[in-house]
Amino acid sequence: MNKYWFYKVGLVVVFLCFALLGEAKVKLPTLVSDGMVLQRGEPVNIWGTADPDETVSITFQKKKYKTVADAQGNWKVILPALKAGGPYTMIINDIELKDILVGDVWVCSGQSNMELPVSRVTDRFRDEISADSDYPIVRYIKTPLLYNFHAPQTDIPGIFWKAMTPENVMSFSALVYFFTKDYFQKTKVPVGIINSSVGGSPVEAWISEEGLKPFPYYLNEKRIYESDDLVESMKKEESKKSRAWNVALYQGDKGMHETIPWYAAGYDDSDWTPTDLFASGWATNGLNTINGSHWFRKDFQVSGQQAGEKATLRLGCIVDADSVYVNGTFVGTVSYQYPPRIYTIPAGLLKVGKNTITIRLFSYGGFPHFVKEKPYKILFGKGQPEKGESEISLEGDWKYRLGAPMPAAPGQTAFHYKPVGLYNAMIAPLLNYTVSGVIWYQGESNVSRRNEYKDLLTAMIADWRQHWNRPDMPFYVIELADFLSPEDKGGRAAWAEFRKVQAEVANTNKNVTLIKNGDLGEWNDIHPLDKKTLGQRVSQAVFQQRVK
């Protein structure tokens, strides 16, 4: 019995030893991983965690480096300046990192025009993207949307480096795609991009608490949301209100509850009101806008050659959201205003002669409308308007009927837009990574507060430089593109004034370069498609500064 007892105790000791050995393994941040790009020409940080006082050994390019984890288990090794090249392998204790390149690394940040993916610019650049998107020497990380009001975070979970290949490119930022291609052609060195951007985000969300000290209003706003209980309760309450609004919309929408629903192929719409998509009368009661659901139907003729074919339905852009049916069959939906409506009509759905398209438009709280000077048509073949393929225009007369008039939808608090939150979660974890500099495309969300933008952006630039410990780190600030209808003189003037503020920031801060972009806008799209010219301009500016 005693022998058996000693045997069990011995097994426990062995298991504890193995457990302790397992816990002693080095842990790396997600940025330090397979496929990463290390900055050339500058000392490079490699860091992570381990048990306190554990020895960490790194082997890279046939050289060995050692350090010891501190009392909190943190460690860092600084590699000497490296020459461009690769791929290489790095060994960190028992971890092997593969396919490492050395080149130029850039942080790209801002809002939706920095996020806008390649898939959204295929109308204009489809052929180029199809033929020229295999650049495995370009690596890309897109950070997920995260925010934190408590403290700067040390890592970003779930990210990894992707090579620019035809399989991956559609999710890359369109601006990054064109910038890196052009930059690689100029330098022939690998390029790494860390894209940490969030659509609609204001500049104050990207500044640290320390950096916002001169702006007490924003610090006080941040303090409101430091309570996790408050944030969670607000989310639950707002979610309940939103569900109630949507239930009321559905219950009150006659088009969904009549014996024959309004989207059905055989529905009789002869008593509906004729209208043009771009008319405004249907959107108001004569004075105020009508939120809720609005229905539109249009008959169109299909030839024998077109019948049965797969086709592409283009419905421009719609404010705010829509669900679309063809011959009673649901073909697609978009939940907010900005994306282009590109829906597939499956083969066999279209028939010879009369066909019907039905749009159920949702308005949440603004002015519902169809955006002018966008494609509204059905395309056969590859669905490329510029190819002159067979098409059916959907402009002109439609029939209209109000579905469910509603009060404005309850608002949702965008917690990730609040001060400091994005900095703590999406910038702070990057600060150990050695980079060339920052490309910044943001401002649309601050136009209405343009009087304070110079000070805020200047503070952000100083803040990031301080935390990266690089006082002269290059910043490339992209000018806002032209936007808004020529009739909206006040709005256009505000955007023009904002561009002047951006120029002032570049003129009054060392090593800040303004990238011209005002001439590349589209009056009816806050996300202009020409990211190619812009990407080439950024590339040229960066290249010129490097060769000085």
Are 151 and 60 found together in one domain? no
Are 474 and 534 found together in one domain? yes
Q: Is residue 53 in some structural domain?
A: yes
Residues 6+ apart with CB under 8 A from 166: 130, 133, 134
pLDDT at 4: 44
Are 267 and 396 found together in one domain? yes
Taking the C-alpha atoms of residue 286 and residue 501, their distance in angstroms, rounded to an integer, is 39
Helices 489-508 and 453-468 pack at an angle, to 10 degrees, of 40
Residues 327 and 358 sit within 8 Å (Cβ to Cβ):
no
Q: Residue 508 pLDDT more than 70?
A: yes
Residues 495 and 532 sit within 8 Å (Cβ to Cβ):
no
Concatenate the DSSP letters of all residues of 389-447 into one string: --EEE--SEEEEEEEEEEPPPPP---GGGSTTHHIIIIIGGGTTS--SEEEEE--GGGG
pLDDT at 389: 57
Q: Give the CB-side neighbour count of residue 444, counting CA atoms within 13 A.
A: 21
Q: Is residue 12 in some structural domain?
A: no
pLDDT digits (tens, 9 = 90+) for 388-446: 458 999 999 999 999 999 999 999 999 999 999 999 999 999 999 999 999 999 999 99
Here the CATH number for the domain that contains residue 368 is 2.60.120.260
3 state SS of 377: strand
Taking the C-alpha atoms of residue 325 and residue 526, their distance in angstroms, rounded to an integer, is 27
**Does residue 469 come out as left (phi exceeding 0), alpha (psi in the -120 to 50 range) or beta?**
left
Phi, psi (rounded to 5 degrees) for 428: -50, -40
What is the rounded average pLDDT for all residues in the chain? 94
pLDDT at 24: 54
- Give the long-range contacts of residues 122-127, CB within 8 A, separation 24 or more: 123/340, 123/384, 123/385, 123/386, 123/529, 124/529, 124/530, 125/529, 125/532, 126/384
Residues 6+ apart with CB under 8 A from 383: 311, 312, 314, 342, 389
In this prediction, residue 6 has a pLDDT band, given cuts at 50, 70 and 90, of: very low
Q: Do you find a cis peptide bond into 385, omega within 30 degrees of 0?
A: no
Taking the C-alpha atoms of residue 110 and residue 105, their distance in angstroms, rounded to an integer, is 17
Single out the residue of 405, 360, 397, 377 nearest to residue 277, CA to CA. Answer: 397
Residues 350 and 306 sit within 8 Å (Cβ to Cβ):
yes
Q: Is residue 232 in some structural domain?
A: no
Q: Is residue 240 in some structural domain?
A: no
Q: Which of 353, 385, 406 is the last residue of a domain?
A: 406
Per-residue H/E/C for 76-101 = EEEECCCCCEEEEEEEECCEEEEEEE
Single out the residue of 148, 154, 42 nearest to residue 469, CA to CA. Answer: 42
Q: Is residue 269 in some structural domain?
A: yes
pLDDT at 546: 82
Q: Is residue 28 in some structural domain?
A: no
Q: Is residue 318 in some structural domain?
A: yes
**Does residue 399 come out as left (phi exceeding 0), alpha (psi in the -120 to 50 range) or beta?**
beta
Are 402 and 308 found together in one domain? yes
Single out the residue of 323, 329, 265, 322 nearest to residue 298, CA to CA. Answer: 265
Mean pLDDT, range 148-162, rounded to an integer: 97
Percent of the chain with pLDDT over 90: 92
Q: Residue 456 pLDDT more than 60?
A: yes
Are 429 and 352 found together in one domain? no
pLDDT digits (tens, 9 = 90+) for 158-184: 999 999 999 999 999 999 999 999 999
| Interior angle at CA 364, CA 362 and CA 367, nearest 5 | 85
Taking the C-alpha atoms of residue 475 and residue 508, their distance in angstroms, rounded to an integer, is 13
Are 257 and 345 found together in one domain? yes
pLDDT digits (tens, 9 = 90+) for 59-115: 999 999 999 999 999 999 999 999 999 999 999 999 999 999 999 999 999 999 999
Q: Residue 13 pLDDT more than 80?
A: no
Are 523 and 535 found together in one domain? yes
In this prediction, residue 128 has a pLDDT band, given cuts at 50, 70 and 90, of: very high
Are 459 and 517 found together in one domain? yes
Mean pLDDT, range 351-360, rounded to an integer: 98
Q: Which of 384, 406, 428 is the last residue of a domain?
A: 406
Are 220 and 261 found together in one domain? no
Q: Residue 460 pLDDT more than 50?
A: yes
Instruction: For residue 129, give Cα distances in angstroms to 11, 98, 165, 404.
Output: 60, 28, 10, 43
Cβ neighbours around 130 below 10 Å, total:
11
- Residue type at 451? N
Q: Which of 352, 384, 406 is the last residue of a domain?
A: 406
* Tally of residues, the chain: 548
Are 212 and 149 found together in one domain? yes
Here the CATH number for the domain that contains residue 480 is 3.40.50.1110
DSSP tag of 172: S
pLDDT at 12: 44
In this prediction, residue 548 has a pLDDT band, given cuts at 50, 70 and 90, of: low
Beta pairing class for 329-334 and 321-326: antiparallel
Single out the residue of 145, 146, 144, 147 nearest to residue 226, CA to CA. Answer: 147
Tell me the residue range of the domain where 317 lies: 248-406
In this prediction, residue 18 has a pLDDT band, given cuts at 50, 70 and 90, of: very low
pLDDT at 20: 42
Beta pairing class for 329-334 and 291-302: unpaired
pLDDT at 384: 54
Q: Residue 210 pLDDT more than 80?
A: yes
Are 464 and 521 found together in one domain? yes
Taking the C-alpha atoms of residue 272 and residue 399, their distance in angstroms, rounded to an integer, is 6
Here the CATH number for the domain that contains residue 68 is 2.60.40
Are 307 and 216 found together in one domain? no
Q: Residue 10 pLDDT more than 50?
A: no
| Cα-trace Rg, the chain | 28
Taking the C-alpha atoms of residue 522 and residue 117, their distance in angstroms, rounded to an integer, is 17
Q: Is residue 238 in some structural domain?
A: no
Residues 294 and 368 sit within 8 Å (Cβ to Cβ):
yes
Taking the C-alpha atoms of residue 531 and residue 120, their distance in angstroms, rounded to an integer, is 10
In this prediction, residue 337 has a pLDDT band, given cuts at 50, 70 and 90, of: very high
- Residue type at 32? V
Per the structure, the count of domains in the chain is: 3
The reply to whether the predicted model has a pTM over 0.85 is: yes
Which structure tokens are listed for 357?
């398209």
Q: Give the CB-side neighbour count of residue 248, counting CA atoms within 13 A.
A: 15
Mean pLDDT, range 506-518, rounded to an integer: 98
pLDDT at 381: 83
| 353 sits in which H/E element | strand 353-363
